[in-house]
Amino acid sequence: FFNVYGPNEYHKGNMRSVVCQIVDTVRRGDTVRLFKSHNPSYPDGGQLRDFIYVKDCADIILWLLSRGEYQGVYNAGTGKARSFADLAHAVFAAMGLPPSIEYTDTPEEIRAAYQYFTQADMRRLRALGYDRPFTELEDGISDYVKNYLLAPDPYV
């Protein structure tokens, strides 16, 4: 599973998705902070991850189970890396607010090992026959924010 976001992750504390953390930050009235880039190939907030909606992960799992016999490890991602800035802008849009983001230095202790790019290789799952489209980042975030995070009962 790559960078999963979606409903019912609220118990995970600091390990919640960035989407969930940004919504909480904005609701508290605090400033959203993303890491600056310390790599000249990436702008601030331009670090890339393969963000996948939990509903897509569930669909992959159910599809694999319906196939019966299969072996091996399969990546669960979209195969399309997007930036943290894209994600943050989508959260603000879903909340109906203008983006307000500050960039902060990546902590020294993780800077040398920080990954600037991760993206799922989906060829193995696609070769098995999984041909369903994945939820676009903006659509998944909009659904998650509006129908769960901002709902009176987020455990809908």
Which residue in 104, 93, 103, 75 sits closest to 145, CA to CA? 93
Total number of domains in the chain: 1
Residue 49, beta-bridge partner list: 82
At 105-145, the pLDDT tens digits run 999 999 999 999 999 999 999 999 999 999 999 999 999 99
Rounded to an integer, what distance in angstroms lies between the CA atom of residue 92 and that of residue 95?
Answer: 5
> Is 87 part of a structural domain of the chain?
yes
Distances (CA, A) of 66 to 63, 125, 132: 5, 14, 14
Q: Report pTM.
A: 0.94
154 within domain boundaries: no
Q: Is the dihedral of CA 16, 54, 36, 27 positive or negative?
A: negative
Range of the domain at 19: 3-149
CATH label of the domain that carries residue 30 = 3.90.25.10
Which of 129, 144, 154 has its CA nearest to residue 4?
144
As given in the structure block, the two tokens for residue 151 are 């709902």
Residue 86 lies in a domain: yes
Instruction: Give CA 128 to chain center in angstroms.
Output: 25
pLDDT of residue 55: 98
Examine residue 39 and state whether it is found in any structural domain, yes or no.
yes
Q: Is there a domain that residue 156 lies in? A: no
CA distances to 9, 45, 87, 120, 147 from 155, in Å: 9, 30, 22, 28, 10
Residue 118 inside a domain? The answer is yes
pLDDT in tens, 80-103: 999 999 999 999 999 999 999 999
Assigned domain for 62 exists: yes
